[in-house]
Structure formats: C-alpha cells, structure tokens
Structure 1
Amino acid sequence: MYDPHLPRGVYFRRRVGALAGSVLALVALIWLVDGLLGSDGEEPIQGVAASSPLLRTPPPASKVVPSSKSAPSSKAAAPSAGASASASPAPRQPEQVPPDPSAPCPDSSVKVTAETGQRAYHVSERPLLRLVIVNAGPVPCTYDISRARRELVVSSGEDRVWSSNDCYFGTRSPYPRVLEPRERHGYQVRWTARTSTPGCPARRADVAPGEYLVTPKLGPITGQPVSLTLTR
C-alpha cells in the first residue's frame, strides 16, 4: 500500500523485494511439479523397435589407467580376418531386367493348331474351321500374324483339296503382334465344302463325303492336322 509520508527509496525497495519473492515462489513450484511428475527412466519411442540404438543406455565411462597398462598390444588391436570379412558389405545382386516384348519370337516358340466346330458335318453344311496361335515360350515377344501368313489347308490323302488363302486378295501388310505366354489368338472361317486352287479359279467342285485333314499354317510354321468328317 502506498504511504505518502515514506521516502520514495523505501517504497521502491519494498516493490523490488515483493517481486523477487514472487519469482522465488514460482521457481519452487516448478521444481516441485517436476519432482512429482518427472521420471529418470527411458520412455519408449513410438514406432522404433526395442533393439534400436535410440533406446540403448550408453555404457559407463571406463576408468582412466596409466598408459603403460592401458595401451593394447598390436596383436590385440588388429582385427581378425573373420571380423573384417563379416563387416564387409554384401555384394549387390544384379537387377533383373524385364524381357522386351518387342523382341521377335523365335519360330520354335510359336505354336499353331487347327480346331473344328464339330467332329463331323453334313456334306451340304459349311464346316467351321479355326486356326489358333499360341506363344509357347516363357516371355512375351512379337510375331507377324498377318492374314496373308495365316492359312488352313484341307487335304484328302495326298490331294490338296482347299486352302483359306487360295481366294484371299486382301492386304498383305505385316501385322506384328505382342504374344503373351500361353495367350490364344484364334481366327475362324466357314468352308463352303468346295475345292479350290491358288489363284481362285471360277470353276470349283463340291467335295465328296469322306475323311479329311485340316492343317494349320502360319508363315513357315506348320501345326499338326486334325480330322474332319463329311457325311452324306
């Protein structure tokens, strides 16, 4: 409380003393709270394993001894060959380069097969014939499967009866296609059950009932023939 009869110096010293007492009281309170809530144990770090170096307590400092006793011998100081080998980094494994799908397929990895819609057809019907191309290799690759290279040939004994290319006059441009391993590419045609020869002559004859073979081809590749029966 301010007293006008006291000298200003006395009043000033009282204010300073009161302020210092408040600061000391605040410091004591902080020390008390820290003593009650604080801990000298390590707190786990979220997301770090217990074996992490961040959680290990550093070893106590070793006692200093005279240099004549503490100096290790050269034999003890030299690391062993086994320790040096174990400390060396492991050799890097070469990176696996994925196969290039644009690489050409070898003929040996491309398989062609022939299929028929039915085992037998009436001689008046138009049998459904199908050519299937499969990449039998382990990696994707590119092969020309254009229409001019695909062919189905019908034969009877030694006689060539019909071919799907005899009367084809379309484009002969290459058609390179990426073939995935074991992926099927099928193409089908309806045979009129009539004969044909290269150049597609105007006069064509109906075939007789009997047993026929259908052979698939793709450029230089020839597949196994399958049987087709035409009944009366």
Structure 2
Amino acid sequence: MTGGSSSVKVGAKVAFTVTLTNTGKTDCTWDFAKLPVGVTVTSGSDRIWSSDDCAAWKPRGKTTVRAGKSYPYKVTWPGQRSTENSCKASTEELGAGYYVATAEIKGGAAKKFVMQLHQ
C-alpha cells in the first residue's frame, strides 16, 4: 500500500493505492466478495475510519490478475472519522498527530502506511 504523502493537513483527503500482486505462474480471478480487502485508519488504539463501514468505499466484483502482474486500486480516506455501517463521515475534527492506515486481506496479509496530520 502506498499513500500520497506522509505529511497531511488535518481534514484533508488521503488517497491510498492498494496493490494485489499475483506471484503465481497462472492467472487468477480475485473475487472481492469472497476475499475482501479493507483499509483501516487508526491513531494508537483508536479506530478512526474503515472502508469496511461502507460498501461504496471498497472494490466490488471480480478481477483477473495475470500471472506475475499486479492489480492496483485506489481507496480514499476523507480525512474524517467513520461510523460502522454508515457511509457518512463524522464532522468531528481530528487532532494533529500520527495515524496509521492498514490494508488487509480478510484473514491474510496486511500492509501499513504511517502518516502525520498537521494543522
């Protein structure tokens, strides 16, 4: 997972690129319903935002990833807190500090991206 910048203004949107790589020797079809990939933003133990909170924030359907190739897709964190099972972000302003975005395949690998929010 990669992000646009490791230093971001409080409240700014942050786009992440999550890349699925097929290291096998044959093409594979990735079904996002069976193997969902989610991105969660935390600050310490505080869960701030998750793409799991809204189906529209996650990739859907299926994609074929050719052998030895990658499939990148973008996830955008609106720079705000989310609420479980709601596609609306909170209007609460987050504080300056360090935040960690974690992309994770259900039951599998995880990658982290650390960023600092500043005023």
Does structure 1 residue 168 correspond to structure 2 residue 73?
A: no
1: CA distance between counterparts of 2:88 and 2:65? Answer: 38
Q: Structure 2 residue aligned with 1:186, among 72, 90, 98?
A: 72
Q: CA deviation at 1:186?
A: 1.3
| Structure 1: segments with no counterpart, 5+ residues | 1-113
Does structure 1 residue 129 correspond to structure 2 residue 11?
A: no
Name the SS of the counterpart of 1:198 in structure 2: coil
| Structure 2: segments with no counterpart, 5+ residues | none
2: CA distance between counterparts of 1:182 and 1:230? Answer: 36
Does structure 1 residue 150 correspond to structure 2 residue 45?
A: no
Q: Relative to total residues, which structure has the larger helix share, 1 or 2?
A: 1
Query: What does the per-residue CA deviation read over 1:126-158, in whole Å, with 9 as the maximum and x for residues that have no partner?
Result: 112221111122332222135x92311101112
The structure showing larger relative contact order (alpha-carbon pairs under 8 Å, at least 6 residues apart) is: 2
Regions of 4+ moved over 4 Å: 169-173
Tell me what 1:197 maps to: 83
2: CA distance between counterparts of 1:172 and 1:126? Answer: 18
Percent identity, aligned pairs only, is 22
- Calculate the TM-score normalised by the size of structure 2: 0.79
- Opposite residue 22 of structure 2, the aligned amino acid is N
- Calculate the TM-score normalised by the size of structure 1: 0.44
Q: Relative to total residues, which structure has the larger strand share, 1 or 2?
A: 2
Report how many aligned residue pairs link the two structures: 117
Check the 8 A contact 1:135/1:180 in 2, yes or no.
Answer: yes
1:199–1:145 Cα change, 3 Å: closer
- Opposite residue 116 of structure 1, the aligned amino acid is G
Structure 1 vs Structure 2 CA RMSD: 2.8
1:142–1:120 Cα change, 3 Å: same
Check the 8 A contact 1:145/1:218 in 2, yes or no.
Answer: no
